[in-house]
């Protein structure tokens, strides 16, 4: 493909940062763009395991707290939360209905966004939900298992997740990428003591970085 075709398909605005980073060297910019896709892909197993583990662990604890499979509809939960959480549950329900599927608690839980789950770590829920949600991190050392710590960690990861899932650039700083990898790995470990070893064969971040390091260091 020639340069005009690539810039038309990718868009000039999207491709411009790569050209700027490589002093308008088109071939290096193209290789960096491809590297960004490959490195973003390498985060997918980590993000998938973390996100699904987080939501299911929190779901389990809130079922226990409200003694209700449909805790997200329980009057006491609705009294505690804000419009944001209520609206996300409504959106999840409507999405399932649009697909003409039967609404179940499991489908609602899986439809709720990562932003919904991380919002439950907000300071406003310190005195209402945190006592139960903290048990979603059974392998986290007690001195670290603080609501503020969890909120900061998982909301930081959410920002990376959103950039990757919206196909944005993430490969401008190797140190930042390494830090994100370590944050996600630690978060997975906190969810279950065996989860990290179970997922080890899926984690290829270091392998991809070694291959592409010349473009992003």
DSSP state of 128: T
Three-class DSSP category at 103: coil
Low-confidence ranges of the chain (pLDDT < 50): none
pLDDT at 142: 94
Task: Enter the tokens of residue 108.
Answer: 């609602």
Nearest to 135 by CA among 145, 121, 122: 145
pLDDT at residue 216, as a whole number: 83
Cβ atoms of residues 46 and 185 within 8 Å: yes
The pTM of this model reads 0.93
Distance CA 138, CA 189 (A): 9
**How many whole angstroms separate alpha carbon 88 and alpha carbon 71?**
14
Instruction: Give per-residue pLDDT as tens, 160-200.
Output: 999 999 999 999 999 999 999 999 999 999 999 999 999 99
Position 203 scores a pLDDT of 94
**Residue 175 confidence (pLDDT):** 93
Q: What is the pLDDT of residue 215?
A: 84
């Amino acid at each position: 493909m020639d340069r005009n075709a690539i810039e038309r398909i990718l868009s000039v605005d999207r491709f411009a940062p790569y050209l700027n980073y490589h002093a308008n060297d088109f071939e290096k910019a193209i290789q960096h763009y491809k590297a960004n896709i490959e490195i973003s892909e390498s985060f997918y197993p980590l993000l998938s395991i973390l996100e699904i583990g987080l939501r299911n662990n929190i779901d389990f604890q809130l079922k226990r707290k409200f003694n209700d499979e449909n805790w997200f509809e329980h009057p006491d939960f609705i009294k505690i939360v804000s419009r944001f959480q209520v609206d996300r549950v409504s959106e999840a329900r409507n999405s399932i209905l649009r697909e003409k599927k039967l609404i179940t608690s499991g489908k609602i839980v899986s439809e709720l966004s990562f932003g919904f789950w991380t919002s439950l770590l907000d300071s406003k829920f310190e005195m209402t939900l945190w006592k139960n949600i903290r048990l979603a991190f059974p392998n986290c050392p007690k001195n670290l298992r603080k609501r503020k710590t969890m909120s900061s960690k998982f909301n930081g990861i959410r920002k990376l997740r959103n950039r990757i899932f919206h196909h944005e650039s993430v490969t401008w700083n190797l140190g930042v990428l390494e830090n994100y990898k370590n944050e996600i790995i630690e978060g997975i470990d906190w969810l279950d003591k065996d989860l990290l070893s179970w997922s080890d064969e899926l984690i290829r971040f270091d392998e991809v970085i070694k291959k592409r390091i010349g473009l992003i260091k």
